Amino acid sequence: MNVTRNLLTIISLTKNDLNGIRKTITSTRELRSYYDVKQLIIDSSEGQVASDVMALSVNEVNLRYISFDQNGISKAFNEGIRCASSDWIWFLNGGDIILPECTGSDYANFIYLLNKTTADLVVYQIKFSKSHRIFSQNPLKDNWPIIHSRMPHPSTIIRHKLFKLYGMYNEEYKIAMDLEFWARISNNNINVNYISIPLVLFDENGISSKNIVPTRKEQKRISKKYLISNIRKLLGKMKIVIESSL
């Protein structure tokens, strides 16, 4: 298969979770070894854990270790975006893994899709680690109010150019920064491919799962912010239609 150079970069955040990032690295090894996929480890670990995470990357193909000592998930995401040069970006954090049942043919189809699609986002299904429930994403335009959105970033592949066009993650948000990004781009002409195949086993021990109350507060702020802006845009469009019909 002819693979586009710099097609995909996997960005994996980790902090003081050696076992989680080890599982993530193991799950991406076939993609990195046979399809020239790159992976960035953005590590905010401390002490011996940081040394151990760094050691994991020594003999891995197409894997780069980046020590990141600033606080904040949004800042770490944005550091990964700045360091990536690929067409596509995939945020697969420490503890999240590509489903073990994925085979060589699944990987080949995955790479073929990224090579050929004209979409801006490719969204797969996600499987939860505890309940084993499989979640399918609603179309982006139907996620209103936005607080009900569940666009799963571990199984969403994003064109790098979207961050150049619409900005990176808003560092004002500590947990729901991905939700804010979806809300920010949802009014634009974003082309999305929805794939009804589970791709990722999602680690339910992450910060958003453990900090439900702060997460909900950020989600409500985002919903309020973009609900008002969407109403204004809708009224503006109605005004144009009315004036053109007079």
In the 8-state DSSP scheme, what is residue 138?
P
- pLDDT score recorded for residue 241: 46
Beta bridge partners, 136, equal none
Residues of the chain with pLDDT under 70: 1-4, 136-150, 206-211, 229-246
Superfamily name with CATH number, domain 8-245: Spore Coat Polysaccharide Biosynthesis Protein SpsA; Chain A (3.90.550.10)
Which H or E element spans position 49?
A: helix 47-56
The pLDDT assigned to 65 comes to 97
For residue range 180-232, list pLDDT tens digits in order. 998 888 778 889 999 999 999 998 776 555 567 888 888 888 888 887 766 66
Q: Tell me how far apart the alpha carbons of residues 38 and 83 are, in angstroms, rounded to a whole number.
A: 11
pLDDT for 152: 81
- Rounded to 10 degrees, the C-alpha dihedral 90/95/99/104 comes to 60
pLDDT score of 107: 94
Sign of the torsion formed by the C-alpha atoms of 109, 114, 119 and 120: positive
pTM value is: 0.87
